[in-house]
Structure 1
């Protein structure tokens, strides 16, 4: 959710299980008060806030400390997601998420678990070997600080690159929980727009496998096939380690939650 999505969270509150992790984004068009208020709302409604810390959007160490301090005041620092962020040039001293982790400040403000980004299909602006080095360096730094790590991935439409990437993560000795980014039900044009923006594979074969057609962009699509196939394939591979899902709520918090509840009910 964004800082503006508190009304949407209130609408979805009754259909989201208590204790669910809910990420709160760090957008350039939202301010400190909005981000903290959203994290507090998540906590007050019985969920687990995971505020984003966007390294490149931080103008100074003092701003980072102010953000962490305000989050700690509302009980929202146990879980955070540290990400590089969108700006091409850093607005302050932190050029990457590793730079934030390396400060050692997270422990000072009660952080226990840090989510870091994973890219099964690569990143449009970062070379593959650089991504792997960053992942290894961040994992090592968090381990040295005694912090739990979760790898939260960009969303995907196709199980093949996801499974190949998980295999590479484990071969590199990284045993952290992985949460695979999964698009919640949304309009097809909207989903494809996000895919193009983030460099996600969305060719005709993949989207047909996912369950929608490039010739009909007016409908909606959900991740039923993707989740079912991923679950079955992971069950065949015990070496994949702990893997869960992270939903990108492109169609809204309630629509995603309703879909999840219906999917679970159908399987049981």
Structure 2
């Protein structure tokens, strides 16, 4: 048994062949440190936080591109104060050549700061395509959302997919992270049952401290019962320890059936840091090939 457990080759050759990462606008130095460990062309999502300004967001997207990766800037609908703010951001991305791929999300504020209430309103505005966007990521919630009912979530997902098709835009679904593979795979089957064929990127926490992972789980309404924690490899009696997603990925690889689940890839939330996540992925892939 190696340090990561016995990894299934399927994890490396399919699910991890085209993984994506997530960072904030303040993480540019950390991405520079990890750059040598990440395959060129990797998709790197750049979040749209309330404490960041336009310049910081544009600079971060440029840095991702400069380091040889594909920037995927987030656009938070409810954080946009006006249509002019939306256009300014899109125009800046287009001028830099960093705006072909974006991620559209409603965002954390409970009330919109401007005219955009959700990701659907961003897509339906027509401004994305007008400014050179070609691919739009949208959110998925295998375990639901603490503030949104299941019916509303399914309706929103269908509507966003229909809007993307109407706009002639490619898309993909990026899910909230979780610790239990079973509801994830069941949810993907439901997605396909709704006629949604977009690729799905399963959100996975990169290696991080158990206390931090539990904190994020509580914040986003992710199930963390004792049985789920044990299944994932979290020690709720040792909050000072760390945990990686090796068990989760092996279980996902074992349960993934392309005929039922379609195209599935992995999106890493880098809660424990970009370098730690990149090192973990590189080692996991190496041992999977051994």
Instruction: Quickly name the TM-score band, shorter chain normalised.
Output: over 0.9
**Counterpart-to-counterpart distance in 2, 1:135 and 1:212:** 31
The unaligned stretches of length 5 or more in structure 1 are: none
How far is the alpha carbon of 1:44 from its aligned partner?
A: 0.7
**Counterpart-to-counterpart distance in 2, 1:163 and 1:255:** 27
How far is the alpha carbon of 1:144 from its aligned partner?
A: 1.1
TM-score, with structure 2 as normaliser: 0.91
Q: When the two structures are aligned, how many residues end up with a matched partner?
A: 267
How far is the alpha carbon of 1:87 from its aligned partner?
A: 0.3
TM-score, with structure 1 as normaliser: 0.99
* 1:99 corresponding residue in structure 2: 121
**Counterpart-to-counterpart distance in 2, 1:196 and 1:94:** 27
Any residues of structure 2 matched to 1:253-264 within 5 Å, and which?
A: 253-264=274-285
- Contact 2:235 2:241 (8 Å CA) reproduced: no
- Larger relative contact order, structure 1 or 2 (CA cutoff 8 Å, min sep 6): 2
Q: Match for 2:47 among 18, 21, 25?
A: 25
Any residues of structure 2 matched to 1:55-204 within 5 Å, and which?
A: 55-204=77-226
SS of the residue corresponding to residue 175 of structure 2 reads: strand
How far is the alpha carbon of 1:73 from its aligned partner?
A: 1.2
How far is the alpha carbon of 1:179 from its aligned partner?
A: 0.1
The unaligned stretches of length 5 or more in structure 2 are: 1-22
**Counterpart-to-counterpart distance in 2, 1:212 and 1:251:** 14
Any residues of structure 2 matched to 1:218-237 within 5 Å, and which?
A: 218-235=240-257
Structure 1's consecutive aligned runs of 4 or more residues displaced over 3 angstroms after TM superposition are none
How far is the alpha carbon of 1:239 from its aligned partner?
A: 1.6
SS of the residue corresponding to residue 10 of structure 1 reads: helix
How far is the alpha carbon of 1:123 from its aligned partner?
A: 0.3
SS of the residue corresponding to residue 239 of structure 1 reads: helix
Pair 1:247 & 2:271 matched: no
How far is the alpha carbon of 1:63 from its aligned partner?
A: 0.5
**Counterpart-to-counterpart distance in 1, 2:37 and 2:96:** 24
How far is the alpha carbon of 1:74 from its aligned partner?
A: 1.2
* 1:9 corresponding residue in structure 2: 31
**Counterpart-to-counterpart distance in 1, 2:98 and 2:69:** 10
